[in-house]
Structure 1
């Protein structure tokens, strides 16, 4: 069985993959191009791809040897699932392993945006801080405020727990269906949630239905002091509409770990002081990346052994 791993992984996971599967690794630590994806699908039995790899519908139009895409990550918006399955490939992902780390980043962004932490650090590093003052860089208080979570899956629930039990926040959520939760939370229609929340966290998967879920109309419903936090996928938000809202001061601020056209971040977004920007750090700890890799390995083992795939999509 020939296995291609499309990106460099942690040492622990690379060691396992080489030992068990004699896996081959691409030399470029960058997303696969469409041409590379087509060649890989024609050459290998299984691929371990990840975010950004060009596994669009066009990738599945040529000769195909591969039977498995064992994705490294929970999000699979870089894979055309319908085209992959039509071509006879199974697709798996790594759910669960990313939950707590992503929820931690959501709270990091929420606090940084509320308290103007990035803006303050830039001022200090530039030599602009002249000492404490009673009205200097006043931000938004977080404790006891209203949090709206859009998408109440594993990550949304983890965010809600941190916010409620850690900061006494009142939690509401918008989801496709009501949830049985172990944290107090009120289901609301999306327009009501946007209008009533001090902070809004996006935790939905990237699907055709969630593309530009938050656009100009939705941003207009938010309170002028409210902050938008995105740890989902970049195209869940209409980035141009968000920039316009931030430039005009129509919302209080934003915290982003993902972008609509990664790794490109619009200069207009970078120029704004009322937005906190992180370089997609949601799962960036060695323990979490090891856990993701081990889940991908289990999917490869099951494929090799002809047993049910643990995380089939």
Structure 2
């Protein structure tokens, strides 16, 4: 295998996890010509040692990564610190990486993390601590969490829309009471002894929904999804706020969210409530290209996210 091919293969996995390009990792780092600095600290979520790790700054547009600057992690008391010297204000994407197996590939067992969940950083800057996590699973799973077949999905996304969607709505219905004799009499009067009962059931109903969402997918596949929806319910407007967290994987044009936990709060018509969201899975079709991410599915789902 040629050196060029090997470098390209290495970056194919890195690009999904670190949202950079082959140009960013295949070549030598660009020299640090400027005096602007980006500094901060790095820690492993499980307390692992990060000696030999490094921090990488990749300039926008990230797929081209025209400027790449690296700096080693250094011991700073009980933790690790870094200082990147960059040639201009950027913006940059900042990645912390400990290559545990030394194969120069982002692979299971390594530690990875992104400053500000992948958001752009402008120099000079003193960053909050970057939390790195151990990459779990197989190489295929790790790559899927970053790229899948539809493009890179890691990073922070936002969305807002006003569309028709299917929503569970309470409806009053009349159901026949059990009666002796032949058939069921649906006439009669309402109330005690009536041949019909009045019940409230939840049915999927197409309504106009105002929706806004923020979605952050980290390099290790972990995600945080904040959703706000408002829609008419009778003569009132109901507002629902949800937070979902778990693991995301992308494969074959399908983006799956394995929800591990979450919360929900709602209000409307002078009433309010809250509750927990239990474990579940949601799968959608998706396409990602640069700063655009489209998620689609049944029930009128066609969400256009942007960075």
TM-score by length of 1: 0.26
**Higher strand share goes to which structure?**
2
Greater Cα radius of gyration, structure 1 or 2:
2
**Higher helix share goes to which structure?**
1
